[in-house]
Amino acid sequence: MPYQSDIPKASVMFMRVAYPIFYGISCLPCSVLYALSDFVSLLLYRVFKYRLKVVRSNLDSAFPEKSTSEKRQIERDYYKHLGDIFVEIIKGLSISERELKKRVVYENPEILHEYNKNNQACVVVLTHSGNWEWAALASQLYVDQIVLIVYKSLSNPNFNYLMYRMRSRFKGTPVNMNETVRAVSTLTAQREAFIAALIGDQSPANLNGVHWEPFFNQETPFLNGPAKIAKKYKLPVLYLTQHQIKRGYYTAKFTDTLDSESMSSEEIMSVCIRNMQQEIQNQPHTWLWSHRRWKHKKSDINS
C-alpha cells in the first residue's frame, strides 16, 4: 500500500468560505490571473514594500559586482515574478494535465523512466527558483513512480491545507519534513519505486549538524537532509534545474546524477549547492530573494 501522509487540518470556516473562493479564482483564464498578478506585484513592491529591505540587502550581498541599476532591475523583475508565483500556485488547484504539461516541460524524463524500470528509488533536489511548485506538480505527469513532495509547514494551518490539496492533485504525496524518513523507510521496505523531491535551499531552524558552504559570497547553512537520506538508503541524487522560457512557461532538466555510495554527504551537498548558485545566476529574478536566507551566521553556533 502506498505511503499515506498526514493531511493538514483546516478550519470549517476556511473550507466553507475561503477555499471555494481560492478554487474559483484558480478557474479563471491565465490572462486574467496574470492581470491580477500585475496588481499584486504593484501592491507588494510599490505600496507595501514587502520585505524590500531584505531583498535589497540580499541582492547587494549576492551581487557586489553588479551596478545599482542592474540590481534594481533584478528587484523589479523579482516582484513581478513573485506576483506570478502567487497566481500560478492558486492556478495549480484546478489546472488541467494538458495545460500543465504545456507550461512545464521536462526535457529528459527518460532518466526517471530508467529508474522506474529498474524499480530504483531516487532523491531529486531543486531550489526556490522558476516555479518550484509547478515543477513538483508537473513531475507527477511525466513519471509512473510515487512522487514524495517534501515540504516545510507554513505557520497557518489553513494555507498548509490549501498547499496540500494543490500538491496532491495528481499522484503526488506531499510529506511534511518531519515525516520524510518515515515515508522513505516505509516505501523502501515495500520495495516501491519512488522519487523524493526536496528543496535544497531551505533555511535551517536549528544550526546543529547543518552543512556550511559558500553561497553567493556568504558562508551559508544548508539542511543536509537530501544527502543524509540518499546515503542512508543508498539512493542516487539528481539535481533538477528550472528555466523560465517566458511568463508562465518553464522547462525542467536533470543536470547531475550523483552516486551516494561513492560520494560523501559533503560532496553531494557541494555539487547540489553549486548547481543552485549557477541556476540562480542564470535567471536571478526567479529566485526567492525576499526570504531571509542569510539570517544565520556560523558564529551563531556557539553563541
The amino acid at 139: S
pLDDT at 299 over 90: no
Pick from 298, 231, 228, 288: which is nearest to 262 by CA? Answer: 231
**pLDDT for 215:** 97
Angle CA(195)–CA(95)–CA(156) in degrees, nearest 5? Answer: 70
Report the distance separating Cα 269 and Cα 199, nearest Å.
Answer: 12
140 pLDDT band, cuts 50/70/90, is very high
Q: Which long-range CB contacts under 8 A does 97-102 form with residues at least 24 apart?
A: 97/141, 97/170, 100/134, 100/137, 100/138, 100/141, 101/138, 101/141, 101/142, 102/249
230: helix, strand or coil: helix
pLDDT at 48 over 70: yes
pLDDT at 258 over 80: yes
Report the distance separating Cα 215 and Cα 175, nearest Å.
Answer: 27
What is the distance in angstroms between the CA of the first residue and the CA of the last residue of the chain? 47
Secondary structure, 3-state, 67-83: CHHHHHHHHHHHHHHHH
Q: Do residues 31 and 85 make contact, with C-beta atoms less than 8 angstroms apart? A: no
pLDDT in tens, 142-153: 999 999 999 998
**pLDDT for 18:** 96
303 pLDDT band, cuts 50/70/90, is low
pLDDT at 285 over 70: yes
pLDDT at 302 over 70: no
Report the distance separating Cα 66 and Cα 25, nearest Å.
Answer: 39
pLDDT at 184 over 90: yes
10 grid coordinates: 483546516
Report the distance separating Cα 16 and Cα 297, nearest Å.
Answer: 44
Give me the sheet containing 249-258, strands edge to edge: 104-106, 249-258, 237-246, 122-126, 194-199, 146-151, 172-176
206 pLDDT band, cuts 50/70/90, is confident
3-state helix, strand, coil split of the chain in percent (to 5) is: 50, 20, 30
DSSP annotation string for 3-33: --PPPPP--HHIIIIIHHHHHHHHTS-HHHH
pLDDT in tens, 62-112: 999 999 999 999 999 999 999 999 999 999 999 999 999 999 999 999 999
Domains of the chain by residue range: 12-302
150: helix, strand or coil: strand
pLDDT at 129 over 90: yes
